[in-house]
Amino acid sequence: DAMVIQNPRYQVTQFGKPVTLSCSQTLNHNVMYWYQQKSSQAPKLLFHYYDKDFNNEADTPDNFQSRRPNTSFCFLDIRSPGLGDAAMYLCATSRDGLGGVEETQYFGPGTRLLVL
């Protein structure tokens, strides 16, 4: 089945040690999103790619970066994780997102990051 895949489901890293989370999709969607969801909170958009164009949310810390080497893959890099970065990281895709067009986002299962 076509889907959004996130591996691993759980990731443990050390304080200050760079970590990369990965997302892949078999939907051939143009847009890929990264959300952060802290415990007992709603998901919050960090940034998204429309094809190769990167779009950062204004309040996303510089510590968070992203790469999209091709249509299928997108990575979330946390350069120096702090304890406050422990969260569930959710990847989502949508086929397109041109203004006014209804486009549904489909989410992966998430990667839960633990910072020690």
| Residues forming the site for another protein (CB under 8 A) | 4, 6, 31, 33, 42-45, 48, 50-51, 53, 55, 88, 90, 92, 94, 97-110, 112
Entry field: residues in the chain:
116
Taking the mean position of all CA atoms in its chain, how far away is CA 13? 17
Residue placing its CB nearer to another protein in the complex, 28 or 80:
28
Give least dist CB 116 to another protein, A.
Answer: 20
Q: How far is the CB of 15 from another protein (least distance, A)?
A: 24
- Return left, alpha or beta for 91; rule: phi > 0 is left, psi -120 to 50 is alpha, else beta: beta
- Nearest distance in Å: CB 6, another protein: 8
- Spatial strand order of the sheet with 19-25 comes to 4-7, 19-25, 73-78, 64-67
